[in-house]
Structure formats: C-alpha cells, structure tokens
Amino acid sequence: MKTLENSFGRVRIKEIIGGRGFVCRLADLGLAPGQVVEVLSNGPPVIIKVKDTKIAIGRGVARKVIVENAE
C-alpha cells in the first residue's frame, strides 16, 4: 500500500483512511480523493504541494493517505 509517507513526486490521492472529521479537515486543506499532489519531502514533516500551496503534514497523517502514481 503506497502512502504519502513513502512516495515522492506527483501522485493522485486514492483514499483517506479515517473518520469523518479527519477526512473533512484534510479536504479543507485540499487533500481529497482524485486530487493530484506533489510530494516534495518525505519527512518528517512530509511536505506536499497542492495546486500552488505547500503544506507540511505529520507522518501519522501521511500514513493515512493512500496514493497511486499520477498519470
């Protein structure tokens, strides 16, 4: 299972594992299934680029975001 924690480069978010509040909080940051993000640094913290914004997230959060290679 490929997560944000062990990825690098452009990836597409496939699934977010967590409760409704957690998923909504990440959606407010722009992290939602189908969204393409770029992983800039693996850690800690994991730095990702969503559209034109860089976001730093903890490794625990990054482990709950399942991704696949962006095409």
Question: 8: which residues sit within 8 A by CB, 6+ positions away?
Answer: 39, 42
Kindly report the pTM of this predicted structure: 0.89
Q: Is the pLDDT of residue 43 over 80?
A: no
Contact indicator for 4, 46 with CB cutoff of 8 Å: yes
Which domains are delineated in the chain?
4-69 (2.30.30.90)
DSSP string, 4-71: GGG--EEEEEEEE-S-HHHHHHHHHTT--TT-EEEEEE-SSSEEEEETTEEEEE-HHHHHTEEEEE--
Q: Is the pLDDT of residue 62 over 90?
A: yes
For the residues 11-36, what does the mean pLDDT come to? Answer: 94
